[in-house]
Structure 1
Amino acid sequence: MRMNAMLLEKLKALECSLQGPKRNDREWLEQILHHEFTEITRSGMLIDRAQTIESLVGEVCALTIFSSDFRLIRVSDDAAILHYRTINADGSRPALRSSCWECSHRGQWTLVFHQGTPEAVSE
């Protein structure tokens, strides 16, 4: 159980690094995104690693994003899925997110897959 808590904190920090200043850092993105990384964007588009890196490096003014409700599913010793919620600082664009992480033989966790889906509004 303790190992899962430690892994949750590690992956949470890596995930949140992609929402901060490192979001525009090409070197960091090339290090953290798995060579076969793909993403299904919040708007439903499938994009690859190169498209993701170019998009993030080219962002001029990224909005502040708040993340919460992190949950970890340990798939194996070297694979995990992270589920969480995000919302922009202004309260807009709530989303449910999932990220699949893989650990290399050198102990480096990389992001293999990410999906963001608009959160349903309760009535």
Structure 2
Amino acid sequence: MINYVTLGVRDIAAAKRFYCDLLAEIGAKLLIDGQRIVFIGKSMTDPMLAICVPFNQEPATPGNGNMVAFSPGSTAAVDALYKKALALGARCEGKPGERMPGIFYGAYVRDADGNKLCFNHFLKHF
């Protein structure tokens, strides 16, 4: 259903390094490399993450309440992505753990531009 999600960034080269290194952990790679926008994902037919310098040339700012969630497939993979994001310069917004006991396990970070990311795993499927 979702084709891609876009995050605005100030420094496209730094953001590209951060997201390509981080998302390589779950099999994603750089798919399209434009001057102002890049697309990262597993394939052009799977959901992708786009990062870009805003078209209107105004400063990139994160939206309050906006967040992109990545599901790496296990709680151990959530922990690994959280640690990798911190190592790449992200800041903690919530350490890994159960948020809804027995249902949802997640960890939260903000990238260098303040965009909020979630790494999550559903423990129970309905």
Give TM-score scaled by structure 1 length: 0.29
Give TM-score scaled by structure 2 length: 0.29
Structure whose residues are more often helix by fraction: 1
Structure whose residues are more often strand by fraction: 1
